[in-house]
């Protein structure tokens, strides 16, 4: 991949501006790669994120908790989850005490799909991960955490 100046054919006012635009540009580049990886499995990056959250929960979660943990906090998380339910990847359960509360959990079919995707992700991400050293990753994480305040 070329340097950001070459990709955008642009000059920047400061290194800080360049860094912020580089983060946005790189995030979009990564999202495009993710979309290409998940497309053959019939899910979007946001749906993948929901499945991973539910797998990590090791049980049921209410939809508000799922939304809070999403990387891309889509306002349509319920609709995305409904599509996963329709595919048999997620199961829905109403709370007996309060019928307004809806719980969701990943289904065995959803776990199997994630296992297949994990194999592809490890292969696809291997070359990306190897481009960045542990020290560079730690520094980048500190800088991004600092940027968010």
Six token digits for residue 126: 């291997």
**CA contacts within 13 A on the Cβ side of 59:** 0
pLDDT value of position 87: 97
What is the reported pLDDT for 38?
95
Sequence spans of domains, the chain = 14-128
Q: What is the pLDDT of residues 84-138, one digit of tens each?
A: 999 999 999 887 787 778 899 999 999 999 999 999 988 888 888 888 999 999 9
Q: Residue 1 — pLDDT band, cuts 50, 70, 90?
A: low
Q: Which CATH class is domain 14-128?
A: mainly alpha
27-41 pLDDT, tens digit each: 998 899 899 999 999
The CA–CA distances, whole Å, from 15 to 11, 12, 22, 35, 83 equal: 10, 7, 10, 30, 42
């Amino acid at each position: 991949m070329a340097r950001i100046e070459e990709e955008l054919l642009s000059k920047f006012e400061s290194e800080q501006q360049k860094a912020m635009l580089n983060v946005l540009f790189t995030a979009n580049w990564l999202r495009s790669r993710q979309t290409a990886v998940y497309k053959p499995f019939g899910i979007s990056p946001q749906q993948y994120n929901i499945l991973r959250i539910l797998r990590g929960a090791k049980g049921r979660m209410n939809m508000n908790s799922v939304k809070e943990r999403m990387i891309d906090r889509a306002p349509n998380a319920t609709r995305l989850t409904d599509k996963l339910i329709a595919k048999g990847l997620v199961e829905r359960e109403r709370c007996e005490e309060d019928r307004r509360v809806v719980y969701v959990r990943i289904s065995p079919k959803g776990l199997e799909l994630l296992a297949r995707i994990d194999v592809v992700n490890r292969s696809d991400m291997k070359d990306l991960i190897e481009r960045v050293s542990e020290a560079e990753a730690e520094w980048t994480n500190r800088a991004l955490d600092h940027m968010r305040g």
